[in-house]
Amino acid sequence: MSVFIHESHPTFHLQNDEISYVMRVLPDGQLGQLYFGSRIHDRETFDYLLEGAMRSHSAYPEDDQDLLSQEHVKLEYPSFGTGDYRQGAIEILQPNGSRVSNFKYQGYDLLPGKPVLEGLPATYTESDDEAETLVIHLNDSVSGAAIDLLYTIFARGGILTRSAKITNNGSESFLLERAMSFCLDLPDCRYDWIQFSGSWARERFPVKRRLDIGTTEIESLRGHSSHQQNPFVILKRPEADEFSGEVIGLSFVYSGNFRTSAQVDPYGVTRLMTGINPTWFSWKLESGQSFQTPEAVMVYSRDGMNGMSQTLHNLYRTRLVRGEWRDQVCPILINNWEATYFDFNEEKLLHIAEKAKECGVELFVLDDGWFGARRNDRAGLGDWVPCTDLLPEGIVGLADKITALGLRFGLWIEPEMVNPDSDLYRAHPDWCLHVPGRPSSLCRGQLVLDFSRPEVVDYIHAMIAKILREAKISYIKWDMNRSITECYSAAASPDHQGEIFHRQILGVYDLYERLLQEFPHVLLESCAGGGGRFDAGMLYYAPQAWTSDDTDAMERLRIQYGTSYGYPLSSMGSHVSAVPNHQLNRTTPLKTRAEVAYFGSYGYELDLNRLSAQEQEEVSRYSQFMKDHRQLLQYGTFYRLQSPFEGNEAAWMVASEDLSEAIVGFYRTLSTVNQHFSRVYLKGLDPDACYHIDGMGDFYGDELMNAGLVVSDGTSGKVGEDILPASDFFSRLFILRRCGCKNTESRD
């Protein structure tokens, strides 16, 4: 890792083992971008990459002798209004009504390691030699606004992080109306754009389109990252695939409103940006005040989309997730929600827990309905006091009884919400987001608490912390079941209302951080009606997330496959649920449900007492299998092999870091007859090592990767007396273990 700085015509070259990023101060004082991609040698000047020409209807500085219009150069943090007609990264409304600004280079600082972004989630380092951070200072002399652009390059991997800090050094206040975290101008538009879209119960399905002149954009204005769009996109060359070709991944480490866009101008230049959604955003900066944008993480790979994903997985597992649970395997849990919904008492819960313990479960989680007047989803939210009608000795007593069984105990909460039918709302109706004089919209019978107000966060913290201090709780499932409407705070003045969406998520982060610091032993799992806030920002506080409320195994194949492009397996809550499935009414084999759920943080979402004795014995075997292999399944290198979005079959695998073992999952949605023979081409093995596969024999790694793993079964040919027919919703696992033999033949 090196940052080369050439002072004579200020040029900055950030370089590590895989990538280079080159910037230059332009003749007009703006900061321009010259190159981003595979590592290149440093040189004294890269000015040959700075091209200019006279073009009609373009604006040029009066003293520009180099024909460098802002419209036609690649800029690092552009603003609209002085010649660049593309979308800008920053917009400031000044006291005289002008939005024109012109930020020019002032200097730089080079820091070892990576600074903390106060109050915000971000990647981090544990030693200064892991990364370097270049801070470039820009200034607008008229408004007094200053920008610090932060660039962190990690020592290994194609990783560059970006953010910006805006400070008012002037004498008058101004409104910051746009402050993006990241802008990258690419010299051409020959890219496929891949976004991850959906809705409740079908989150993060990949959607691909070719970039062309105009703007391709995704966003959320729901107050959270959303089920509908995810703050992660991929740009890939059209010829790039899962294992080869140039790929850029852009991940926004933020959980609120966002916008990510790719704007292609008529000359084919692509401007890629991400940041806080500027719609309904404004932030008043008084003299001397600053605003820090969230972090954006960019990953570059020449090894296709798998290469990009693996780099991002490793970064997020080890340098975004924090705390005691970062390096621990996830416990096997059972959640009572789909087993009981609101219809439970202590006796019923203990009955479920006893059977779960017999079947190898390690953690029992009590879901919604344990507090206040919560007998349905229209009452009680906000009253975090155990209901002794259901739990005679409260959460303390239930936790003691669960832990006496040899299980850990976990609890569901939804601290950001309130029901109008609650003691909290009756006492403090102004503590929810609402517009005075207008009706409030309800969703799931609830309103959103105003977490932009510190006193509201303090109140909720006190109630939750009291329970955690008193009871033996080792896990919290933190839910959030509605998007924000009527985003207005009764505590904020009119000129600060544009801050509320952002202050709301800052309040959520604050509550997470306070609980995390006081109760570091507690495993936090985030949830938002399933996958409505599955983003990098939440991983900073909660190392795993409920991937989707859709627990059907075949749908989870697609949801987990899509999620894996940007997020590691260890972060994905993946459970075996009851059949017929509660979302689709589909019945899938218990074996298939387990063999899909293995590839994540494994658990159960049903009452095991309702299974037959044979099924309970199966569950015990599946639990033991997960215990034996979860280090590999959750922290191994993951490969997408065959997409469930492209056909009737799907496959994926994980391989250990030392290449000594691997697990392959193969799945077929619907059975077929007299079909072709099938092979799956594996990845990530030692080509010279021999691997044993139970029931199949020994194979060299190069065979399995190049000739393929034969997965043909009863669907190939005619079913006979000695050939069992395949079934719908079929799955099969292949366990590979390196043998003692080694291929000693020379490899040309």
Asked whether 507 and 522 are in contact (CB, 8 A), the reply is: no
Six token digits for residue 283: 């932030």
What stretches of 336-422 show up as alpha helix (H) in DSSP?
A: 337-340, 346-358, 394-404
- For residue 471, the 8-state DSSP code is S
Q: Tell me whether strands 290-292 and 258-264 are parallel, antiparallel or unpaired.
A: unpaired
Asked whether 391 and 437 are in contact (CB, 8 A), the reply is: no
Distance CA 127, CA 112 (A): 9
Asked whether 79 and 89 are in contact (CB, 8 A), the reply is: yes
- For residue 540, the 8-state DSSP code is T
What stretches of 12-62 show up as alpha helix (H) in DSSP?
A: none
The residues annotated with a catalytic role in the active site are 479, 549
Q: Which helix (H) or strand (E) holds 633?
A: helix 613-635
231 preceded by a cis bond (ω within 30 of 0): no
Give residue 636's Cα distance to chain centre. 18
| N-terminal to C-terminal alpha carbon distance within the chain | 33
Q: Tell me whether strands 192-199 and 202-210 are parallel, antiparallel or unpaired.
A: antiparallel
Residue at token pair 């979302």: 583
Q: What are phi and psi of 563, to 5 degrees?
A: -65, -35
Q: How far from 622 is each of 356, 368, 576, 728, CA to CA, in Å?
A: 12, 27, 10, 20
Query: What is the SS3 assignment for 319?
Result: helix
Query: What is the SS3 assignment for 121?
Result: coil
Distance CA 119, CA 513 (A): 9
Distance CA 206, CA 192 (A): 12
Q: In one letter, which amino acid is 152?
A: T
Q: What are phi and psi of 465, to 5 degrees?
A: -60, -35
Asked whether 149 and 105 are in contact (CB, 8 A), the reply is: no
| E strand segments, 531-647 | 544-546, 572-577, 601-605, 637-642
Short-list 126, 180, 118, CA closest to 149: 180
Distance CA 587, CA 729 (A): 9
Asked whether 434 and 447 are in contact (CB, 8 A), the reply is: yes
Query: What is the SS3 assignment for 195?
Result: strand
Give residue 715's Cα distance to chain centre. 38
Residue 722: CB partners within 8 Å, gap ≥ 6? Answer: none
